[in-house]
Amino acid sequence: MSELDNTILLDISDGLAVLTLNRPDRLNSFTAEMHKELKAALKKITPEQGVRCLVITGAGRGFCAGQDLNERAETKGSTLDLSASLEKNYNPIIRKITQLEVPVLCAVNGVAAGAGSSIALACDIVFAARSASFIQAFCKIGLIPDAGGTWLLTHKLGRARALGLSLLGDKLPAEKAEQWGLIWKCVDDDKLLKEVLAVGKHLATQPTKGLSLIKRAIGASFTNSLSEQLDLERDLQGVAGETSDFQEGVAAFLDKRNPTFTGN
Instruction: Kindly write out the interface string for residues 225-244 of this chain, putting x where it contacts other proteins by CB under 8 A and - elsewhere.
Output: -------x--xx-xx-----
Residue 152 Cβ, how far from other proteins at the closest point, in Å?
20
Residue 232 Cβ, how far from other proteins at the closest point, in Å?
7
Instruction: Kindly write out the interface string for residues 44-63 of this chain, putting x where it contacts other proteins by CB under 8 A and - elsewhere.
Output: --------------------
Residue 235 Cβ, how far from other proteins at the closest point, in Å?
5
Residue 213 Cβ, how far from other proteins at the closest point, in Å?
8
> How far from each other are the two terminal CA atoms of the chain, in whole angstroms?
27
Is the CB of 44 or the CB of 201 nearer to other proteins?
Answer: 44
The residues near 48 (Cβ < 8 Å, ≥ 6 apart) are none
Is the CB of 14 or the CB of 231 nearer to other proteins?
Answer: 231
Is the CB of 239 or the CB of 252 nearer to other proteins?
Answer: 239
Is the CB of 31 or the CB of 46 nearer to other proteins?
Answer: 46
Residue type, 81: D
Is the CB of 31 or the CB of 224 nearer to other proteins?
Answer: 224
Q: Give the residue from 2, 178, 141, 157 showing the smallest Cα distance to 65.
A: 141
Is the CB of 161 or the CB of 216 nearer to other proteins?
Answer: 216
Do residues 210 and 241 lie in contact, with contact meaning Cβ atoms separated by under 8 Å? no
Residue 214 Cβ, how far from other proteins at the closest point, in Å?
13
Is the CB of 139 or the CB of 232 nearer to other proteins?
Answer: 232
Residue 96 Cβ, how far from other proteins at the closest point, in Å?
13
# residues contacting other proteins (CB under 8 A): 6
Please report, as residue ranges, which positions from 158 to 217 form the binding site for other proteins (by CB under 8 A): 216
Give me the helix-helix angle, 32-43 and 91-99, nearest 10°: 20
How many Å apart are CA 173 and CA 169, to the nearest integer?
A: 12
Element containing residue 105 per DSSP (H, E): strand 104-108
Residue 146 Cβ, how far from other proteins at the closest point, in Å?
21
Q: How far lies 160's CA from each of 38, 185, 236, in Å?
A: 33, 22, 34
Q: How far lies 248's CA from each of 101, 172, 209, 211, 234, in Å?
A: 20, 43, 13, 15, 21
Per-residue DSSP letter, 261: -
The residues near 25 (Cβ < 8 Å, ≥ 6 apart) are 60
Give the footprint of other proteins on this chain (CB under 8 A). 216, 232, 235-236, 238-239
